[in-house]
Copies of this chain bind each other. A is one copy, B any other.
Amino acid sequence: MNVGKVIGHLYCTIKDPHLTGQRILCVRPLGGREKPFWALDAVGSGAGETVLYTTGREASYAFLPEIVPCNAAIVGIVDELREEEP
């Protein structure tokens, strides 16, 4: 799992039926070295928010029992984040 920022959205009229009603948001990974990508939103996040996301098939677990063909999902809105070097 990683942390990123919501920076955009897209719309598809023609799409896989399991994506109907899902919000598709653009997420830029924190740190800026990796390319933004598109994720389904499972928690109601919005532009500018710092979010926790997961990738791979396990991303689709956030939408069970619906089985969605997605490989990235926003699963949390980050309140506090701390990296320390013990």
Tell me the bound Cα distance from A3 to B15 in angstroms: 13
How many of these chains are in the complex? 5
Chain B residues near A9 (CB-CB < 8 A): 82
Chain B residues near A31 (CB-CB < 8 A): 35
Q: Give the total of A residues in contact with B, Cβ under 8 Å.
A: 62
Interface 1/0 per residue, A41-78 and B, CB below 8 Å: 01111011000101111111110100111111101111
Chain B residues near A48 (CB-CB < 8 A): 86
With A13-B79, A42-B16, A77-B15 as known contacts, state yes or no: A67 contacts B69, CB within 8 Å: no
Determine which of B2, B13, B67, B79 lies in contact with A37 in the assembled complex, contact meaning CB atoms within 8 Å. Answer: B2
Determine which of B1, B3, B57 lies in contact with A58 in the assembled complex, contact meaning CB atoms within 8 Å. Answer: B57
